[in-house]
Structure 1
């Protein structure tokens, strides 16, 4: 198979786009990324692990291979003392993504994110951030990506800067904002207003990613659908957030007294993980709202992506292995040698 010849816009206007993010958390769980710094050194240390996850997401139904350059910007690399690896890391991540996209016929997206360096009151920090975006987006453009994802944005000014650089390189832009407890960006612009401004500035897709799970991101997506006319993106974390705990950073686990700092985020979120059916339901809700760009962020895994693809009526390669409980040893019915055996097995399994 060859890489997709259809554009992002073509897919958005037809069947829609599913984009798997979530590389940082999934690779941390697998032992390839250090929680805390969260720098994607795995791209250089274990490229086979990155490509393996790319393939798993594509197999599950992702239309996009997202280059794993999240937090691969100059500020993060400087903080961990590895600024000299900045360009090799970005170029390798792009190469890995393109190779897998060619295997599966996917789109390739470059990736930039929040820098944690932007200050609304410091022009030098703003120049620094623009230079960081120029580097990463420039390398992505040279590699020939189909579009750029600018994600997990906390400041409107920083986000607008990323969009300016993306458009200057002539690339389509998917721009997603982070809605914390207060759905207002840190420079005072409400996320809905920010999305409207970004649409007017030329973003092809605007939306939300990270921070909120399916249950607490959906109401904001509904508001956003009424506010903009462009395509909307929704990529929640795959955790059970609620009205009292609208973000995964705010989740509390009273049942466990051994969590460092008594805070589940980011390494003890397991009890809050959404199941595949919740992500499938979220995908259906998004479709009914008219959204045609969805995916998963932190916590997302291939089985979540498959559920979303199937909820949109697709048959991803991984669908071959969709559950068939009729064949289960204890709970199944297909092929049982006798009803007595089936009932006995169910009783042992605790169903009766």
Structure 2
């Protein structure tokens, strides 16, 4: 188990970095189907999951998040594999627990939007709570240090998730992150900052926003949340170049096709490392204590965030040092094969 828990770290003035984005990264690597987005890779290629956990920790993540996002009953039913629900969840939790134990990091259970919740339909609310309950109980039974509840488009579903963690989680602290749609409020009309404040008042250890919005379009809302909430807040955007006019990754239009870029053409909108570095700097200035990235995340991005937050993870050993490059480095290291004239052809000074 970790030497310090989530609440202890935050109350002691520490920041917590979280690498998310497993769905998109495994889709990119060819181990997950876009569309259904079910984490079958946990069952089919468990070592790949273990390796990505280790890779994210190597890059600076303080949290190993069990890959149970969209591993819930409704998603498994969609692909006809509901009978594998418990095995997928337990296997994912055990893999995450093992990596966390070996790296002195926190292991987080994970629940998310149920895809069926509707606030005016009691039977769907009941089904949603039942789905939360089983995943929460599996997380607790397998040693989760905290539970991340995330990507809720309606405040009411986020509140139900938090209440379920309080009811079934045996005191495990909750991080509750909502997704910010382009309409400017949650889909049930609750402003983002007000929703976060209500969740904080109801006992969430951390509140904030994750997914759908990129750094440019999420930061204005994070600033409002920081002003509204007294406790720790979280910011975990997608690393795509969203704008205030196209604030969600689902809003982005591919100029080559004039069609929605989500999901296959999102790489055309990928943020640069410099943009992620600037995002992390702004988060630090705002006072965001829990920071990371969601769909589209990769280890080189997490290293940027970690270094801005004053860390030197193992991956920092390999941070860029262009002074050592044979063509673009300083004169002492510049290859004698290339003259300065040759160098200017590759890297002009003006």
Query: How high is the TM-score relative to the length of structure 1?
Result: 0.95
- Name the residue aligned to 1:44: 43
- Name the residue aligned to 2:8: 10
Equivalent-residue separation in structure 2 for 1:280 and 1:126 (angstroms)? 40
Give per-residue Cα distances to partners, 1:174-204, cap 9 Å, x unaligned. 0001111113122222222111111111011
Q: Which SS does the other structure have where 1:149 is aligned? A: strand
Q: Which SS does the other structure have where 1:341 is aligned? A: coil
- Name the residue aligned to 1:97: 96
- Between 1:166-175 and 1:144-153, the stretch displaced more is 166-175
- Note if contact 1:175-1:207 (Cα within 8 Å) is conserved in structure 2: yes
Q: Which SS does the other structure have where 1:212 is aligned? A: coil
- Between 1:282-291 and 1:333-342, the stretch displaced more is 333-342
User: Are 1:296 and 2:297 matched, yes or no?
Assistant: no
Tell me by how many angstroms 1:334 deviates.
5.5
Q: Which SS does the other structure have where 2:17 is aligned? A: strand
- Name the residue aligned to 1:69: 68
Q: Which SS does the other structure have where 2:292 is aligned? A: strand
Tell me by how many angstroms 1:290 deviates.
1.3
- Note if contact 1:336-1:342 (Cα within 8 Å) is conserved in structure 2: no
- Name the residue aligned to 1:177: 178
Give per-residue Cα distances to partners, 1:87-118, cap 9 Å, x unaligned. 00000000110111122111000000001110
- Note if contact 1:330-1:342 (Cα within 8 Å) is conserved in structure 2: no
Equivalent-residue separation in structure 1 for 2:280 and 2:269 (angstroms)? 19
User: Are 1:237 and 2:238 matched, yes or no?
Assistant: yes
Equivalent-residue separation in structure 2 for 1:19 and 1:329 (angstroms)? 36
Give per-residue Cα distances to partners, 1:53-92, cap 9 Å, x unaligned. 1011000000000000000110111111110010000000
Q: How many residues align?
A: 346
User: Are 1:328 and 2:325 matched, yes or no?
Assistant: yes
- Note if contact 2:327-2:335 (Cα within 8 Å) is conserved in structure 1: no
Tell me by how many angstroms 1:338 deviates.
7.0
User: Are 1:347 and 2:348 matched, yes or no?
Assistant: no
Equivalent-residue separation in structure 1 for 2:94 and 2:341 (angstroms)? 55
Q: Which SS does the other structure have where 2:175 is aligned? A: strand
Equivalent-residue separation in structure 2 for 1:272 and 1:92 (angstroms)? 34
Q: Which SS does the other structure have where 2:338 is aligned? A: helix
Query: How high is the TM-score relative to the length of structure 2?
Result: 0.96
Tell me by how many angstroms 1:339 deviates.
7.6
- Name the residue aligned to 1:121: 120
Equivalent-residue separation in structure 2 for 1:212 and 1:330 (angstroms)? 38
- Note if contact 2:238-2:297 (Cα within 8 Å) is conserved in structure 1: yes
- Name the residue aligned to 1:212: 213
1:149-164 alignment, distance < 5 Å:
149-164=148-163
Pick closer, same or farther for the CA change 1:73–1:294 going to 2, 3 Å.
same
| CA RMSD, 1 decimal | 1.5
Give per-residue Cα distances to partners, 1:301-346, cap 9 Å, x unaligned. 0000000000011101000000010111211116336788351442
Pick closer, same or farther for the CA change 1:330–1:44 going to 2, 3 Å.
same
- Note if contact 2:212-2:237 (Cα within 8 Å) is conserved in structure 1: yes
Equivalent-residue separation in structure 2 for 1:346 and 1:28 (angstroms)? 39
